[in-house]
Amino acid sequence: MAFSHRFDPTSLREYDIRGIVGRTLSERDAFAIGRCFGSLVVRRGGSVVAVGRDGRLSGPALEQALVDGLKACGLRVLRMGVGPTPMLYFLNVARGCDGAIQVTGSHNPPDHNGFKMVLGGKPFFGGEIEEIGRMAASGDVVPEAAGSEEPVDIAPEYVERILRDWDGGDRALTVVWDNGNGAAGEVLARLVAGLPGRHEILFPEIDGTFPNHHPDPTVPKNLEALIARVTATGADLGIAFDGDADRIGVVDDKGHILFGDQLLIVLARDVLSRNPGATIISDVKASQVLFDEIARSGGRPLMWKTGHSLVKAKMAETGAPLAGEMSGHVFFAERWYGFDDALYAAVRLLGVVARLSEPLSAVRAALPQVVNTPELRLPCDDTRKFDVVREVAARLKAAGARVSDVDGVRVTTEDGWWLLRASNTQAVLVARAESTTGPAGLERLKAALADQLAASGIRLDLEAAASGH
């Protein structure tokens, strides 16, 4: 019987395929992804694809349908089982696979799920995901064939490889970890058993209902339990993961959050001590303090587009040893493989902290102080959002403003900077502002942003935008 399938158009995203199970994502979709992605692998001469999943309740059925689709292309499927997304990336590298797919809803609510893909060792995103939709609709797949599957327990090898890069000596740090009931659970327990010091894991059980808090460490509310435990125990730091452990959240010894750009400063100083002059990449949402500190530490700062797939591609192009995003994705190419891995980033951070002569809170406190907004999310129709950004950019350039258009519009003034970009994954505009001249400067930046939005027919409601998810 001829193969043909249509996806819900909202599920084909810029960086992955994602939807609400039973509404915009089904097992039929999972089979179609396997059939189409598998066809791409076969047409490139490949034969082996690795598959894993996070702990969501919909995971087993979606994973099985995906595997069935891959096998129908005649492929050999290595099944990792439940574990963090970066462990699947490691399996892909360690076994020389031709492709890899993780079934994961990442940091989204329990009824969501999705698929993160790697093809030929590179992130699979953008136009390639659109191609999956086209192939499915037109039935453009390889003839049906009989493939095979086998379970692979890669966890011992993965943990051993991470521990090989521990560089903190024998210093006994006290660390609190918040697994958030995410997919890292069992691997994390194995990892901390191999590290010196005292370790406590909060919510270690893998539970796809996320009964304790939402699995997104970039939202301060989700770090409350970790902060409370760090301060109660006098720990050196706390570390949290998102649902599939490719994003990290960090809390210092005083219970203060280190945001993604602050974390990258700590890691960049260490990497640049061994790689002077190296390029360090972060996204347009990061603080100017980060880019200035990279330069001050002897590195070449590179501001790039937001999105883990885009950052990974730019790292490969530039040979950068380290990159990171405000969202908590951290990418090491120095001694590692260039993919975002929160478990690996955590061990590298612990090594840095173990070698510090002062607590992590002192490092954070010594950073130049700025005042900024949280990430503001403004509802804007998908058909309009990119046009708004183009209109704002054109007006600002005509007025002679200092504008970077690497990803949206980032405007620099005497007070600091503000950013407006269209989300690649949602019907929203994303905005942020940061002042070096205090609260009054931040108000001027927000007013300039509001004026530009108003000129394009968008009202900036700061309170609603700041609380949007």
55 vs 49: CA distance, rounded Å: 20
Q: Note the pTM of the prediction, 2 decimals.
A: 0.95
| C-alpha separations of 323 from 117, 200, 290, 348, 349 in Å | 20, 28, 11, 14, 14
Instruction: Give residue 424's pLDDT.
Output: 81
Over the stretch 406-432, which tens digit does the pLDDT of each residue have? 999 999 999 999 999 999 878 899 999
45 vs 124, 156, 225, 228, 444, CA distance in Å?
Answer: 17, 30, 49, 53, 57
Structure token digits, residue 39: 């066809």
User: What value, to the nearest 5°, has the Cα angle with vertex 213 and ends 105 and 382?
Assistant: 45
Residues with Cβ within 8 Å of 358's Cβ and at least 6 positions away in sequence, in order, are: none
List, in order of start, the domains of the chain with CATH numbers: 9-153 (3.40.120.10), 157-365 (3.40.120.10), 371-467 (3.30.310.50)
139 CB neighbour count, 10 Å cutoff: 12
**What stretches in the chain show pLDDT beneath 70?**
1, 462-469
Look up residue 351 and give its two tokens.
Answer: 């090594």
Return d(Cα 429, Cα 422) in angstroms, integer.
5
Q: d(Cα 380, Cα 338) in Å, to the nearest integer?
A: 34
User: pLDDT at position 275, please?
Assistant: 98
Residue type, 134: R
Q: Rg (Cα) of the chain, in Å, rounded?
A: 22
Catalytic residues: 106
* Residue 25 token pair: 């994502």
pLDDT tens digit string along 356-407?
Answer: 999 999 999 999 999 999 889 999 998 899 999 999 999 999 999 999 999 9
pLDDT at position 459 is 87
Q: For the beta carbon of residue 430, count every other beta carbon within 10 angstroms.
A: 25
- pLDDT at position 464: 59
Rounded to 5, what percent of the chain is helix, strand, coil? 40, 25, 40
